[in-house]
Amino acid sequence: MKSMQLLLSLIGREVSDPVPIKEERLKAIKNLISESETAAFVNVGRTEEQFTITHNFDEQLVKELVAIIGREHLAGHTNEPVITLGDKSYLWDVASENGATIVYARETALLDAALYTVAKRLFITTVIVFWIAVWLALTLSSIIAKRADEINEALTRLATHDSLTGLPNSFYLKELLAHFANTHKDSGPSNQACLFAIDLDKFKDVNDAFGHSAGDQLLITLSYRISAILDKPCELIRIGGDEFIIWAPGFSVEEGKALAKKVINACDTTIPLNGLEVNTGASVGFSHYPSHTDNLESLLSCADTAMYKAKKQRSGWEVYDVQNRISNERDIMLRAELNNAMLEKQLILHFQPKVDIRTGAITGVEGLCRWQHPSLGLLSPYHFIDLIEHSGKVQDFGRYIIQSAMQHASDWRKENMNIPIAINLSPYNLLDPTLATYISQLLREFNLPPSAIEIELTENETCINIAHINSALSDIRDLGVEIAIDDFGTGMSSLAYLDNLKANTIKIDKSFISDIDTNRGHRAIVASALTLADTFECKVLAEGVETQSQVDTLLSLGCFYAQGYFYAKPMCERDLKHYIQTTLVQAV
């Protein structure tokens, strides 16, 4: 087909001159069509003349073909330029050049004709396919662009939101504070804000005990509960782990206090996890812009400082003040040194005697932890127990104290001091699934009888139900280790404790003892506790005894065991041995 078009183009050049075609041009056209071995002809028609040049073609056949080609051309049948006459086929084409109509035809084999037809159809198909491809490309481009926008939007949300809770994240908070700083530069009621730092109490221990999926569910549930109490424009933000932020633009300090109370109440409800009712609670601290700081970047640090004070004082929530920062800086330092303190055995035990008030005999001692800090000196538990509990080291610390107590008990027995040592554990220590196995292993290692130690369980901070506590304690009781309930009467579950835990001793909290000789109500409570203890066949020990009058009142009520400054303050091992030398000792 291309060769025919080229030939037509060449012929067109030869006839382009409007004057009658000269002999040499006719000869040139003759040469063009005679180059092919097959029969061919050219018919040129224009206003002033018409002529036909043939090559191996019958004149009558030429006339017949010109007539047929003319009809086909006028009918627009140019897609199939093949004419069959008899047993022969002819390819044809028509071109117009400068007012001249040029008809060219040549004899061809059937295969050539078929190939020519196919080639022409393929060309048309190619054009159609090309435009379809263009349309598809444009459509696909539109789809890809739309999908890219969706992906970009998803990536933006992923960058600024927490995948677990769906809440905004720390990156979002940074942008939020930057936007606030740029749009609220003037002073006025609308240009103030409160920022709240929220940390879930005991979350790590619950997470370790019940698994990460349960911990995730706890975070999701609490995020829903906190979000439900917030009105716009307040926003809840998760910055990582169990730490959340509330951004409250336009809030005054007084409005901040009211919101802090609502957050505490929202978090202070039980959540069912793995068949148990879990309540981690929360500590909240908040700071105010611009009264506490006019630097938005330090606003979070101020809120964190207040939150750590709330944790330390177990007050639920606190508002920032300058003294918070001084205290928090020391807490941060101590928290960083905790691991080293246990490794270097800076955490030591002091001992406070338990006394039979009828005879003055020592019936045991309570091991109380102290931190012999290399630069700060001897620190009481007030300065570091909360740091331990909120740093996720509760289990490590519990095992450290148990081992330390057994080491002392073993050393004393070699000196014929058969005095049991009581160890304080919180319910969170009971989340350690191998605690009983660990205690049993240490008893064998130090060659101690189970009576050498006693477990004192604090009652006032129970985040897990009594059924779980009883289950965890059953293995310890099976070892022969005695159980005591510490600070009895300060929590809401004392009677349930007695009924379920089968304690050997209850220790009445010092708040009932401090004025027992003058407060009839407290005397009645102690008397009732003694009656209950008698029913459950357990001993009663009064904590915080400081005066002879209190001792006399306790004796009159039938309470025969006491502990407090009236007898001795907590003391180091050396002072305890000296105290024992001057006191009647009741061997166990």
> What residues are annotated to the active site?
543
Residue 80 token pair: 């199939």
DSSP letter (8 states) at residue 505: E
Q: What burial letters (b/e) apply to 444-477, b meaning 16+ CB within 10 Å?
A: eebebebebbbbbbbbebbbbbeebbbebbebbb
Angle at which helices 322-343 and 394-414 pack, to 10 degrees? 50
Residue 281 token pair: 């609670």
Cβ(582)–Cβ(571) under 8 Å? no
Residue 137 token pair: 């490309």
- From CA 163, how far away is CA 223, in angstroms rounded? 13
Closest by Cα among 252, 251, 263 to 307: 263
- From CA 447, how far away is CA 431, in angstroms rounded? 26
If you write DSSP's letter for every residue of 167-220 in order, what string do you get? -B-HHHHHHHHHHHHHH--S-SGGG-EEEEEEEETTHHHHHHHH-HHHHHHHHH
Order of all β-strands in the sheet with 40-46:
49-55, 40-46, 100-108, 88-97, 82-85
Residue 110 token pair: 């059937």
> Tokens 């400054």 label which residue?
565
Give CA torsion, residues 576, 579, 581, 584, to 10 deg: -110
Q: Which residues contact 183 (CB under 8 A, 6 or more apart)?
A: none
Give 524's Cβ-side CA count (13 Å radius): 3
Give CA torsion, residues 379, 384, 385, 391, to 10 deg: -160
Residue 36 token pair: 């092919």
